Amino acid sequence: MMKIMDMKFNIANYKYLLSIIIMFVLSTCESMLDTFPEDSKIREEYWKMQDDVESAIIGSYNSIQDCVLKFFVWGELRGELVKVSIDPGGLEDINEHLINEHNWYCRWHEIYSAINKVNTVLKFAPLAQKNDDTFSEEELDEYIGECLTLRALLYFYLVRTFFEFPYITNPSDNDQQEFSIPASSGDQVLDSIVSDLLRAKDIVRTDFDDLTFENEAIKLAYEKGRVTKPVVWAILTDVYLTKGEYENAVVYADSIIYDTRFQLVGGSQWMLNFFPGNTTESIFELQFSKTYYDEGKLASWFTTDFGDDNILFTNRRNRNTRTYKYWEGDDYANPSVKDFRGPNGTFSAENKEIIWKWAGKDRSGGSTYARDLFSNDANWIFYRLADIILMKAEALNRLQQPDQAIDLLLEIRERAGYTNETIETGYENSLEELILDERAREFAAEGKRWFDLVRIAKRQDNYEIIADRIADAIAYPSEQGIWKARVFKPLSWYFPIHRDELDLNRMLTQNPYYEEK
Amino acid sequence: MKIYRNSKYLVFVLLLAFSNIIYSQKIIKGVVTDKSDNSSLPGANIILKNVNNRILLGTVTDPNGRYTIQVPEENTILHVTFLGYTKQEIPVGDKSVINVALERETTKIDEVVVVGQKKVSDGYMNIDQRNLASAVVNLDLEEVVNSSATSVTEMIQGRAPGVQITANSGNPGAGYTIKIRGNTSLNSSNEPLIVIDNVPYEGKLGLTNVSDLTSAHSPLSDVNPADIESIVVLKDAASTAIYGSKGANGVVLIKTKRGKTNRTDVTFTGNVSIQNAPKNVPLLSGDDMKILILEGEQNRGNLVEDPDDPSYPELRDDPTRQDYYNYNNNTDWLKEIQRTGYTFDNNFSLRGGGNTTRYSFSVGSTNQTGTTSGTRYDRLTTGFNLDYTISDKLSFKSSTGYTRSKTVTSEIWEKWVDEKQNPTATAGMYPSFLPVYKRDVDGNVLDDYYIPNPNLENNLFDRTKYNPYAWTELVSYNKHNSSFRTNLQLILDIFKRFNFTSRISVDFSDNNSDYFIPSVATNRNWNDNMVNRSKISDWNTQNVIQENLLSYQHNIKDIHLITIMGVTKMSWWKEKSFTEESSNSGSFALEGMDATNRWLSLSSGSGEYKTNSFMGNFHYVLLDRYILQGTLNYEGSSKFGYSNRYATFPTLAVSWRISDEPFMSAFEFINDLKFRYSWGYAGNDPKDKYLFFSRYSANVRYLDKIGVTPDNIQLNTLRWETTKTNNLGMDVYLFSNRWSFTLEVYEKYTEDLLMERNLPASTGIEKYWTNFGDVRNRGIEFSTDIRILDKAVKWSFNFNISTNRNQIVYLPEDNNMSVTWEEGYPIKAIMGDPIGTFYGLKYEGVYPTDEDAVVKDANGNIVYELDGEPKEIRYNDRNGYVFVGGDAIYSDLNHDGLINDLDRVKIGDANPDFFGGFGTRLAWKAWILDCFFQYQVGNDVINVARKNLEAMPGGANKNANQATSVLGRWRKSGDITDIPRVTFDENAHNNEGSDRYVEDGSYMRLKTLSLTYNLPQELLEKFKLQNLSVFLNGYNLLTFTNYKGQDPEISIASTNPWAVGMDKYQTARSISYTLGLKLTF
């Protein structure tokens, strides 16, 4: 109190007081509690322009890349062609049809993660179009069509793998929405898939000719690696064939077959389909690339060349079995007939266990380092022309046009190196089995076998289509009965829903086959 | 009227001015003498302070011991100090001559026993501990001051009740885990807040891609133990409230030493220690291990005994083989990688000051080599504290510290290989028949390490293990940390009772680490991604906190003592990180990013987070015996959405000093008896930032483009996790303060647990953060100090014990089964259980014969199949592995013939029943003997090291060396033993997570034993020294435990509530001896 009279002191004091006040004011400027991430954008800032939609679709494709292991395991391992060599856990059980609800491969999270991303684009892309004047309605439609197609394809995998599962078309977006969604049946979902695809087929891109690319290779990668009209047609063919609507299947198969962009590659060049891929035969393949730092894992499952210690999957070539013949090629014993898909095609002649289709690079078959060093960039092939041709054959057979079906079958066989072959017109079911055999030779280890077996077994209502092949390939004669019993019931052809998923979503019920167990 | 009023003021002002003049003219003088011989004392310090304890003026006595000093205001107190003499405080009053006779301070030279009543600062308010109503521990540093501790945590381990501290490993520079009063949170952090000189350390907030750094560095290692003035631990909500959400798990306050007026101290301390590892678990010799492998291969039917072409020819003792000498050794790998460790620790400090300026400068260096080859720790600490009195209204204080450290180990804990590369663990399992160095055909030892190519010899070895000695020599994982902290404050006395403080705290820290695994250390094929593999990462953080404090303190005639304080606080935290991983550089001489041939990963991250709080505190003491204190904190965190950003957390505490009541005067032996009760809420925010927003990040690729994906959903409902604490306490001082004890009983109830809840996968999202569930902690803490003898021989004893019971009170049904698997054990959070409960099979020994491995029903009768054969017992499902003679017996609890998840039951709890420490100190003349024990009782530990060393199946531990205990294994049908057969078969299930490896982790450990010699006063004077002491310390000399592993002190990460005590073969804490010197002049 006394000191207030002292002027000298006062000035000094106010100087400090002032600096304290300045400190205070400076710091209160910081007081707003808004912080925004630097490494990412918040949703309110996203969906402003066309590029945002494009990037989100690229993100969706990336998410689909994560599904490749599931595509392979679900579509291949329950069939008779591929054997699990080293099992990190759960794979052998699938291989041997001893699946339980704790098996990791019953988890479907990668698929739904991709579906969620696609659903997010479907919901928010129109918002971006509103915000961006240069973003036309037609361009928006192309993106919508692309997303509908991808979603249809993903659900098609779920239809073929699970009996019932949630069909979700809304993105998961905030913590106030309902997360436990009840299941729909596979048949219902197939109908939704068809209607999505029919809508998509009119609005998606035809090609990428309107865009400029750095080089031809990347343009090709876009043409084969993103959804265009032929991709929609291919999926429609497959879906209609599965649904048993053969006429429709033929219509969309023909759309592709008569599109001159697609040609079968010559027999000796059959390996080009897998290395480097993106051939004229290819319709849709999920792209992986070393150049663009986007490598996959596919090839590494079949070789140790990428530094992994173990080979996950090898071929199953037990002598004196039908499967052995598939791998070797029908007439491998006869040197005059060469199936280009046999040794050094589908498998390595040097190390016969190795699935050369994915491990190798050309027909040499002997190199230690088969693919280009460290370039783990094998594409995952969804559809190629040979597939469409055989699907059409299958449909024509059911439409009582066996001659035309046989012509298509022979087209594939001739390309593989068989000459002057004839096939006697057989009974509908037996011709179907011939087509099924041909599909084994052509698409071994491409993740199609199990779906093929189930489609035809269901159609013929004959579980032995599956059981005979599996028992023949895997079991000793004395044990074949046990093996057949494992696939006796149609419901056993579907995977169980993983136990964790049932626990987290009480609206779901287990596939009854696994409940009985 | 107007004039009248004005004149009144005028008169008032005149009076004041006049009185001012009168006072400024007042001068006092006197002589300072030694009371014993009446000799005058030149150079004694004379300080004049006002009632608020602020220094007004100071002077020193002249050569005749005389002084003169002006007295500027009323109610001043004269403080007279002289080194070696007891300080005197004399109220000036009306006196004009004050002669002071100082008494020689004899006790100071021998030993100061700090008794009872200490002043405690919570960093905001300075309150006598006797007037606190909340649970606060003020650690007595006197007892640990001469310990050779290189870190603060070592100093306080076992000494503070309720505070559980364990080192993460025995390696030098290893981090520590601190937990105060149990786990309150399931998914947020349980780490206490550490505050060094008002600078809070945020802990290691959720940064995902620098996992190794988070576990490695503790802010506490940035402080030099020699610089520490005081350590205070705040435990209940009433005391931590002032730190807001960051203090929700307790607060550890550390103050470093500051300069003192008119006194210059130069102190030097130097320590030298040697450390040795405790006894190893005995392992099989090379010869025994070869037998084990062959027996195992025979048991699984893989052994070919064809004399011309036997399998495993290397192991057949065939001297004609070229590699004979490489496969016939008896190497003790653990011995090979162990050595004697050394520590050199030197500190220097200079402290002093005058009336307006006081300073403290210190520098310290620590250089440590660990007991495991290849480990090192080097640290440089510097500190500078400055106090400057600008005027009697304004003062300035600063504390600054810079620390740089480098930790080197060969342990690489990463997920990219099957097994983490921990040389100690590898040494335990590496084949003992292999040599350290290559041997030629004649058995001569060559210069190169023997490292078999794992790609070629994969039948014999676990391919993910490498020559452990070569590994420690060739691979180093360097972690560098530098941190800078400063705290600046301006303190302004606005009016007599009002005080305004503004302060800024800044903490910068940079952590970078790198390792390089040269191809020669692994000898793998050149295209393998383990070849020349390197990782570099950098993580730096900035933390800035600005606070403004307005306080009011009023003492009304010693009847009412009121303190009120308002605080505004803003904090801003930012981090940046970068990580790069690559491999296959052209040569092992080519290290670093530029040389790489193969990129494995490249990532960067950044984050920012702010909090803001407004707080009101009051503390009221009536008649020195009724105390009421409270806080109201309104706090906001940027981690929450707009609607739930701010929350209010109140606390209230009352205390009654019953000993001061008139009716207690009959009990003269009671010096102080106080009951306390506190209640309050504290909030906890999630460890992750930006949780609220739905974020889109561009980190994926397809074709030639970068893709964007949504990372998470928008969290509209996320809110604060709150913990309600009730604390009942009692402080007692008896028999002239010779016996004191404190008792605390508490309950902490946490609601709205922040937790990542799993979502159905069909949502496309794995998890989201939400609030659910309740956790309760209840506990009792007791500590006591007794001065048994207090004459020529001084003998004191201290003891503390704490117990905490943790329970998950509520979890929604669908998350009852949240499970994390670790090392084969499911760790579950289940309603009713404590956090840290783990599950597993019940182990019941070994089936003597195949016939014994059959299913039995609940009554013990054999179950038969339809074909009349006894039903075989299987693993997991009806097609699973069939158990045979020599296999482990697991309880088939539901008698379904399957050993599976349904048979996995609760087998352990990682929480101790109680823990604490006790010590005793004996002082006689110049000698002090100190010893301190630490103990923990009733915690279950999973001995993973033993699980691996008695595993004997294949899998990750293929052909691993084993402990000598497996010599008692089952070998032939009919053997009765509790160690199963050797199989090396990955399908056998003899090594499942079972109670076989769960051990009682109780222990009692002689933490320190020290003998100190203080140079007697006469000699000190002769050498013109203030203090010289020499000490000899033993650390971890004795351990009493039934635990079978090397070291029962196993840390449980407080950042991860799922963590349970697992002995993963971390380097054991060493037994160490230290010789030290402390010199002050």
Look up the ipTM and state it: 0.89
> Of A164-178, A382-396, B468-482, which range is least confident?
B468-482
Q: How far apart are CA B964 and CA B833, in angstroms?
A: 36
Which of B637, B698, B761 lies nearest to residue A112, judging by beta carbons?
B761
Q: How far apart are CA B85 and CA B217, in angstroms?
A: 44
User: Residue B607: pLDDT above 50?
Assistant: yes
Which of A38, A63, A498 lies nearest to residue B606, judging by beta carbons?
A38
In which band, very low, low, confident or very high, does the pLDDT at A332 lie, cut at 50, 70 and 90?
A: very low
* Amino acid A512: pLDDT: 92
Mean pLDDT of B575-599: 76
* Amino acid B209: pLDDT: 31
Which of B394, B708, B879 lies nearest to residue A13, judging by beta carbons?
B394
pLDDT of A159-205, one tens digit each?
Answer: 999 989 999 999 998 989 999 999 999 999 999 999 999 999 999 99
DSSP B612-639: EEEEEEEEEEETTTEEEEEEEEEEEETT
Contact criterion met (CB below 8 Å) for B67 and B32? yes
In which band, very low, low, confident or very high, does the pLDDT at A447 lie, cut at 50, 70 and 90?
A: very high
Question: B980 CA to chain A: closest CA distance, Å?
Answer: 24
In which band, very low, low, confident or very high, does the pLDDT at A228 lie, cut at 50, 70 and 90?
A: very high
* Amino acid B161: pLDDT: 78
HSE-CB at B78 with a 13 A cutoff on CA atoms is 28
Both tokens assigned to A369? 């380092």
Burial class (CB in 10 A: 0-12, 13-18, 19+), A476: exposed
* Amino acid B14: pLDDT: 44
Helices (H), A162-245: 186-203, 216-225, 229-243
Q: How far apart are CA B67 and CA B28, in angstroms?
A: 8
User: Residue B1033: pLDDT above 90?
Assistant: no
User: Residue A514: pLDDT above 60?
Assistant: yes
Q: How far apart are CA A36 and CA B610, in angstroms?
A: 11
Instruction: Tell if the CB–CB gap between A38 and B693 is shorter than 8 Å.
Output: no
Q: How far apart are CA A218 and CA B679, in angstroms?
A: 67
> Of B20-34, B257-271, B572-586, B965-979, which range is least confident?
B20-34
Count of all residues that appear for chain B in the document: 1081
Q: Do β-strands B898-899 and B874-875 pair in parallel, antiparallel, or remain unpaired?
A: parallel
Q: How far apart are CA A89 and CA B956, in angstroms?
A: 13
* Amino acid B12: pLDDT: 44
Which of B570, B710, B814 lies nearest to residue A503, judging by beta carbons?
B814
Question: B462 CA to chain A: closest CA distance, Å?
Answer: 12
Q: Which residues of A touch B16 (CB under 8 A)?
A: 1-2
Instruction: Please name every residue paired with A172 in a beta bridge, in sequence order, or none if there are none.
Output: none
CA distances from B750 to B352, B692, B759 (A): 47, 22, 23
In which band, very low, low, confident or very high, does the pLDDT at B981 lie, cut at 50, 70 and 90?
A: confident
Nearest Cα residue to B547 out of B494, B602, B491, B609: B491
Residue with token string 């702010």 = B610
> Of A408-422, B32-46, B866-880, which range is least confident?
B32-46
Which of A17, A41, A179 lies nearest to residue B760, judging by beta carbons?
A179
Which of A40, A117, A225 lies nearest to residue B703, judging by beta carbons?
A225
Q: Which residues of A touch B817 (CB under 8 A)?
A: 503
Burial class (CB in 10 A: 0-12, 13-18, 19+), B1021: exposed
Greatest Cα pair distance in chain B: 130
Amino acid at residue number A321: T
* Amino acid B945: pLDDT: 85
Instruction: Tell if the CB–CB gap between A20 and B490 is shorter than 8 Å.
Output: yes
Mean pLDDT of B567-594: 80
* Amino acid A308: pLDDT: 62
Phi and psi dihedrals of B186, rounded to 5?
-90, -30
Phi and psi dihedrals of B428, rounded to 5?
-65, -30
* Amino acid A17: pLDDT: 64
Contact criterion met (CB below 8 Å) for B262 and B58? yes
Instruction: Share the mean pLDDT of chain B.
Output: 81
Which of A43, A107, A289 lies nearest to residue B696, judging by beta carbons?
A43
Q: Which residue has the higher pLDDT, A390 or B621?
A: A390
**Closest-CA residue of chain B to A167:** B762
> Of B569-573, B582-586, B1057-1061, which range is least confident?
B1057-1061
Return the number of CB contacts < 8 Å for A and B. 254
**Closest-CA residue of chain A to B768:** A175
In which band, very low, low, confident or very high, does the pLDDT at B967 lie, cut at 50, 70 and 90?
A: confident
Q: Which residues of B touch A105 (CB under 8 A)?
A: none
Instruction: Tell if the CB–CB gap between B695 and A173 is shorter than 8 Å.
Output: no
Q: Which residues of A touch B573 (CB under 8 A)?
A: none
Q: How far apart are CA A103 and CA A109, in angstroms?
A: 13
Highest mean pLDDT among A99-108, B294-303, B444-453: A99-108
Both tokens assigned to A301? 């499952």
CATH 1.25.40.390 for the A2-293+381-515 domain, yes or no? yes
* Amino acid B975: pLDDT: 87
Q: Which residue has the higher pLDDT, B235 or A146?
A: A146
Q: Is the peptide bond before A276 cis (omega within 30 degrees of 0)?
A: yes
* Beta strand extents in B424-559 (DSSP E only): 437-439, 445-449, 476-493, 498-517, 533-556
* Amino acid B20: pLDDT: 41
CA distances from A484 to A451, A465, A467, A469 (A): 18, 10, 5, 9
User: Residue B52: pLDDT above 70?
Assistant: no
Instruction: Tell if the CB–CB gap between B703 and A112 is shorter than 8 Å.
Output: no
Q: How far apart are CA A235 and CA A241, in angstroms?
A: 10
In which band, very low, low, confident or very high, does the pLDDT at B111 lie, cut at 50, 70 and 90?
A: very low
Contact criterion met (CB below 8 Å) for B1078 and B268? yes
Contact criterion met (CB below 8 Å) for B495 and B516? no
Q: Which residues of A touch B572 (CB under 8 A)?
A: 30
Both tokens assigned to B481? 């940390």
- Element counts in chain B: helices (H) and strands (E): 12, 54
Q: Which residue has the higher pLDDT, B474 or B113?
A: B474
Nearest Cα residue to B662 out of B625, B717, B713, B608: B625
Q: Which of B14, B522, B704 best tests the A interface by mutation, with the highest count of A CBs <10 A?
A: B704
Highest mean pLDDT among A345-354, B257-266, B669-678: B669-678
Q: How far apart are CA B583 and CA B844, in angstroms?
A: 47
Q: How far apart are CA B239 and CA B133, in angstroms?
A: 9
Instruction: Tell if the CB–CB gap between B701 and A294 is shorter than 8 Å.
Output: yes
CA distances from B1074 to A186, B83, B146, B556 (A): 74, 30, 10, 53
Question: B704 CA to chain A: closest CA distance, Å?
Answer: 6
* Amino acid B151: pLDDT: 66
> Of B98-107, B864-873, B967-976, which range is least confident?
B98-107
What are B107-114's contacts with CB under 8 Å, separation 24+?
A: B108/B84, B109/B84, B109/B1014, B109/B1016, B109/B1017, B109/B1020, B110/B794, B110/B923, B110/B925, B110/B926, B110/B1014, B111/B794, B111/B923, B111/B928, B111/B1014, B112/B142, B113/B142, B113/B787, B113/B790, B113/B794, B113/B796, B114/B140, B114/B142
Terminal CA-CA length for chain A: 91
Nearest Cα residue to B217 out of B423, B485, B513, B473: B513
* Three-state SS at A199: helix
Helices (H), A40-81: 50-65, 68-76
Nearest Cα residue to A426 out of A440, A452, A405, A395: A405
Question: A436 CA to chain B: closest CA distance, Å?
Answer: 31
Instruction: Tell if the CB–CB gap between A501 and B715 is shorter than 8 Å.
Output: no
The torsion of the CA quartet A261, A263, A265, A270, rounded to 10 degrees, works out to 100
In which band, very low, low, confident or very high, does the pLDDT at A74 lie, cut at 50, 70 and 90?
A: very high
Q: How far apart are CA B400 and CA A305, in angstroms?
A: 55
Q: Which residues of B touch A306 (CB under 8 A)?
A: 527
pTM: 0.76
Q: Which residues of A touch B546 (CB under 8 A)?
A: 23-24, 27, 30
User: Residue A273: pLDDT above 60?
Assistant: yes
Instruction: Tell if the CB–CB gap between A40 and B696 is shorter than 8 Å.
Output: yes
pLDDT of B522-553, one tens digit each?
Answer: 887 777 777 888 888 888 888 888 888 888 88
Instruction: Tell if the CB–CB gap between B765 and A116 is shorter than 8 Å.
Output: yes
* Beta strand extents in B853-951 (DSSP E only): 874-875, 888-890, 898-899, 905-909, 914-924, 927-937, 940-942
Contact criterion met (CB below 8 Å) for A79 and A44? no
> Of B234-243, B559-568, B648-657, B672-681, which range is least confident?
B234-243
* Amino acid B649: pLDDT: 92
Highest mean pLDDT among B187-201, B336-350, B577-591, B824-838: B336-350
Greatest Cα pair distance in chain A: 122
* Amino acid B67: pLDDT: 82
Burial class (CB in 10 A: 0-12, 13-18, 19+), B23: middle
Both tokens assigned to A231? 């991709």
pLDDT of B692-741, one tens digit each?
Answer: 888 898 888 999 899 999 988 999 889 998 889 999 999 898 988 889 89
Instruction: Tell if the CB–CB gap between B760 and A34 is shorter than 8 Å.
Output: no
* Amino acid A148: pLDDT: 97
Residue B675 neighbours by CB distance under 10 Å? 16
pLDDT of B357-378, one tens digit each?
Answer: 889 999 989 898 988 888 888 9
Q: How far apart are CA B772 and CA B831, in angstroms?
A: 12
* Three-state SS at A356: helix
* Amino acid B463: pLDDT: 67
Question: A35 CA to chain B: closest CA distance, Å?
Answer: 6
Phi and psi dihedrals of B695, rounded to 5?
-105, 145
Instruction: Tell if the CB–CB gap between B696 and A42 is shorter than 8 Å.
Output: yes
Instruction: Tell if the CB–CB gap between B763 and A172 is shorter than 8 Å.
Output: yes
Q: Which residues of B touch A369 (CB under 8 A)?
A: 527
User: Residue B428: pLDDT above 70?
Assistant: yes
Instruction: Tell if the CB–CB gap between B708 and A43 is shorter than 8 Å.
Output: no
Mean pLDDT of A140-165: 96
Burial class (CB in 10 A: 0-12, 13-18, 19+), A267: middle
User: Residue A366: pLDDT above 70?
Assistant: no
pLDDT of A89-124, one tens digit each?
Answer: 789 889 989 898 889 999 999 999 999 999 999 999
pLDDT of B747-795, one tens digit each?
Answer: 999 888 888 788 899 999 988 888 888 889 899 999 998 989 888 898 9
In which band, very low, low, confident or very high, does the pLDDT at B23 lie, cut at 50, 70 and 90?
A: very low
Q: Which residues of A touch B52 (CB under 8 A)?
A: none
* Amino acid A386: pLDDT: 96
Instruction: Tell if the CB–CB gap between A505 and B760 is shorter than 8 Å.
Output: yes
Nearest Cα residue to B522 out of B599, B470, B586, B477: B470
* Amino acid B207: pLDDT: 35
Highest mean pLDDT among A140-144, A357-361, B1016-1020, B1045-1049: A140-144
User: Residue B119: pLDDT above 80?
Assistant: no
Q: Which of B702, B759, B768 best tests the A interface by mutation, with the highest count of A CBs <10 A?
A: B702
- Please work out, in degrees rounded to the nearest 5, the angle formed at the alpha carbon of residue A448 by the alpha carbons of A444 and A449: 65
Instruction: Tell if the CB–CB gap between B697 and A41 is shorter than 8 Å.
Output: yes
Which of B527, B701, B814 lies nearest to residue A504, judging by beta carbons?
B814
Both tokens assigned to B637? 């965190």
User: Residue A337: pLDDT above 90?
Assistant: no
Instruction: Tell if the CB–CB gap between B391 and A98 is shorter than 8 Å.
Output: no
Which of A17, A28, A43 lies nearest to residue B492, judging by beta carbons?
A17
